[in-house]
Amino acid sequence: MNIKTLVFSTTIAGTLLLGACNNMEDKKNEKSDTKTEMKDEKTSKDNAKVEKTGMFKSENKEKVEGKAMIKDGKLMLTDYSSSKGPDLHVYLTKGNKIEEGKKIDDVKHDEATQTFDLKDIDAEQYDTVTIYCDKAHVIFGSAKLK
């Protein structure tokens, strides 16, 4: 009978201890989530202040035309057109360095007006909007932002 009581008591104690550990981990995650939400909110607010524009220039024998503008936390392409590509994306980059840039979204080659949300992206860090074909690894064009 004493062995059964000892096993039962050990099981209960272990369960309570593990439950307490999980609760502590949940609280850590809650604090981390709160910090992330605060950072995201700060980035979104900061992006609301960022205003930059630039005109696209074609590159690598491809065609890209139009205007890129960052305003109110969004990237807007106007009067836009480009050569057709199999996997075109719009990136925010530092001087066309794709590997250091941030992929925003797919871009349509024949849609004159396109808008992309920059939620979670610090737009102030980037100075160029780049149209890039992921499949062919070719820059179609870019717009230097000022």
The answer to whether residue 3 sits within a structural domain is no
Q: Which domain holds residue 121?
A: 52-144
What CATH code is carried by the domain that includes residue 96? 2.60.40
How many whole angstroms separate alpha carbon 52 and alpha carbon 9? 66
The 10s digit of each residue's pLDDT in 52-110 is 999 999 999 999 999 999 999 999 999 999 999 999 999 999 988 999 999 999 999 99
Quick one: tokens of 105? 């979204």
CA 7/CA 15 separation, integer angstroms: 12
Nearest to 93 by CA among 81, 104, 85, 84: 104
pLDDT tens digits for range 102-126: 999 999 999 999 999 998 899 999 9
Would 58 be classed as within a structural domain?
yes
Number of structural domains in the chain = 1
Residues 13-58: tens digit of each pLDDT: 555 544 544 444 444 445 445 444 444 444 445 677 779 999 999 9
Q: What is the pTM of this model?
A: 0.69
Residue 7 placed within a domain: no
Report if residue 36 sits inside a domain. Answer: no
